[in-house]
Amino acid sequence: MKIAIIGTGYVGLTTGTCLAEFGHEVVCIDNDLEKLEKLKAGQSPIFEPGLEDLIKKNMAGGRLTFSAEIGSAVKESEIIFICVNTPPKADGHADLKYVEGVARQIAQAINGDYKVIVDKSTVPVKTAEKVRETILRYSVSEAKFDVISNPEFLREGTAVKDTMEPDRVVIGSNSQRATDKMLEAYKPLIDKTKVPVKIVSVRSAELIKHGANTFLATKISFANLIAETCEQAGADALEVLEAIGLDDRIGRQFLKPGIGFGGSCFPKDIAAYKKTLEILGIDNSLVEAVERINKRSAERFLQKIEKELWVLDGKIIGVLGLAFKSDTDDIRNAPALKIIESLKKEGAKIKAYDPQAMANTKKILTDIEYLENPYQAAEKAEALIICTEWDEFKNLDLNKIKELMTTPTIFDGRNIFDPAKAKELGFKYFGVGR
């Protein structure tokens, strides 16, 4: 099949590349010319394990191309995926100006051939209907098309695996013709993996992604509430949460306390879902509590640092991890950046290291020192703060770290170290809920 992907962010680039790997002829469209030059050279503009190799492979196979020309891509493709950004507005509602803009461009290019227009971006319920209205309003020829929803469930750091080995495929369609086209597109994946396919209404599909992310964020905030309880009660959150997670009805995933969730999805999606509840006249206090606990998690961690170090002015603090999670270079809503900004306001001197996210961080934090490895970040530091759970940090030589530091103090925002071992080595150790 001929498929067009409009937008080459995490979702669009991964989706397009993997669809090419399934054997389809895919063109990825973007208006960022600098990004396009990188992609045409076989370079991924984002760090995502395995993605760049797949890009090069499918470009060499003639199945994957990149272009800024949306018109020809729309005319020649059977399926058109909308994968543009949907950032939050100040009130929490998703800003759909990019989706609307793409819909207008599709309308100008669409011809008499039947097309399936796919909302792949995470959007509020009823967005597909607005996309359809927009295309009909601005189309310059008789347009034969359906607009459907095909939500993504990718996790940054495992996006390729999540696309090639998904736990479900959701197709939100009110048209059998469109459903059949999507099943044809996903046939190589379905045949290989036997992945469950859920065919639902368009509105249901639009709610599934917001609902899933809100639930996962709720589990994280619950874990942090348990951590706060354990610190006050003198218990260990990891012991409590591990036993809770052994219940099959609950599960162990995402029951990990820390300094809160970040990234481009959870904060944006739960804010959008909260706004949807408000519009529908439904009480949204549960979602508000999830957001409030998440914010408090970073604030409580900062209070530990300030209480232990007392005066921060002039003190050197090493920060390990800048990305919002491991295996990505994404720093959007990263807890580490919020913590660094707070420490800087108190006069602390920050030395930082991250395996992948420093280039992105340098664009917004120009007044901290960036190092080449974690040991340099620890040198002469009065405290070492762990903000991202990279495997590289889990395997640090703590004896060497201790020798390099001015005062051996670790604030472990991701609970990657064993408190007893750290204390045995002579560290003052502060975890989350430990």
**Any idea which residue has 């204390």 for tokens?**
423
CB 222 within 8 A of CB 195: no
Task: Look at residue 346 and tell me whether its pLDDT is greater than 90.
Answer: yes
User: Where is pLDDT greater, at 173 or 91?
Assistant: 173
pLDDT in the model for residue 257: 96
Q: Is residue 224 part of a domain?
A: no
Q: Are residues 314 and 168 in the same domain?
A: no
Q: Are residues 295 and 378 in the same domain?
A: yes
Q: Is residue 414 part of a domain?
A: yes
Mean pLDDT of 403-425: 96
Percent of the residues in the chain that have a pLDDT greater than 70, as a whole number: 100
Mean pLDDT of 148-176: 95
Q: Are residues 196 and 272 in the same domain?
A: no
Q: Are residues 24 and 105 in the same domain?
A: yes
pLDDT in the model for residue 111: 86
Task: Look at residue 134 and tell me whether its pLDDT is greater than 80.
Answer: yes
Out of 177, 200, 223, a domain closes at 200
Task: Look at residue 269 and tell me whether its pLDDT is greater than 80.
Answer: yes
Q: Are residues 146 and 280 in the same domain?
A: no
pLDDT in the model for residue 143: 83
Task: Look at residue 141 and tell me whether its pLDDT is greater than 80.
Answer: no
| Ordered alpha helix ranges (H), 346-404 | 358-362, 374-378, 391-394, 398-404
Q: What is the pLDDT of residues 18-43, one digit of tens each?
A: 999 999 999 999 999 999 999 999 99
Tokens of 420: 């007893």
Q: Is 28 a catalytic residue?
A: no
Provide φ and ψ at 350, rounded to 5°: -100, 130
Q: Is residue 230 part of a domain?
A: no
Give the end-to-end CA distance of the chain in Å, rounded to a whole number.
Answer: 53
> What residue type is assigned to position 173 of the chain?
S
Q: Are residues 188 and 317 in the same domain?
A: no
Q: What is the pLDDT of residues 313-338, one digit of tens each?
A: 999 999 999 999 999 999 999 999 99
Q: Are residues 187 and 290 in the same domain?
A: no
Mean pLDDT of 119-145: 91
Q: Are residues 139 and 276 in the same domain?
A: no
Q: Tell me the C-alpha distance between 373 and 382, whole Å.
A: 17
| 129-to-173, 286, 399 alpha-carbon distances in Å | 11, 28, 60
Q: Are residues 155 and 271 in the same domain?
A: no
Distance of CA 44 to the CA centre of its chain: 17
Q: Are residues 321 and 402 in the same domain?
A: yes
Q: Is residue 332 part of a domain?
A: yes
Q: Are residues 291 and 370 in the same domain?
A: yes
Tokens of 357: 């996210």
Domains: count for the chain: 2
Which entry of 28, 83, 265, 387 is annotated as an active-site residue? 265
Give which of 337, 366, 338 is closest to 354, Cα–Cα: 337
Q: Is residue 108 part of a domain?
A: yes
Task: Look at residue 94 and tell me whether its pLDDT is greater than 90.
Answer: no
Q: Is residue 236 part of a domain?
A: no
CATH number, domain containing residue 52: 3.40.50.720
| Residue 150's pLDDT band (cuts 50, 70, 90) | very high
Which element (helix H / strand E) includes 67?
strand 64-67
Distance of CA 401 to the CA centre of its chain: 31
Task: Look at residue 142 and tell me whether its pLDDT is greater than 90.
Answer: no
Q: Tell me the C-alpha distance between 294 and 283, whole Å.
A: 19
Mean pLDDT of 116-126: 93
Q: 3-class DSSP state for residue 41?
A: coil
Q: Is residue 261 part of a domain?
A: no
Out of 160, 177, 200, a domain closes at 200
| Residue 92's pLDDT band (cuts 50, 70, 90) | confident
Q: Are residues 76 and 193 in the same domain?
A: yes
Beta-carbon contacts of residue 333 (< 8 Å; ≥ 6 apart): 262, 263, 264, 266, 267, 324
Mean pLDDT of 128-151: 93
Domain that holds residue 425: 266-430
Q: What is the pLDDT of residues 216-267, one digit of tens each?
A: 999 999 999 999 999 999 999 999 999 999 999 999 999 999 999 999 889 9
Q: Is residue 72 part of a domain?
A: yes
Out of 180, 200, 220, a domain closes at 200
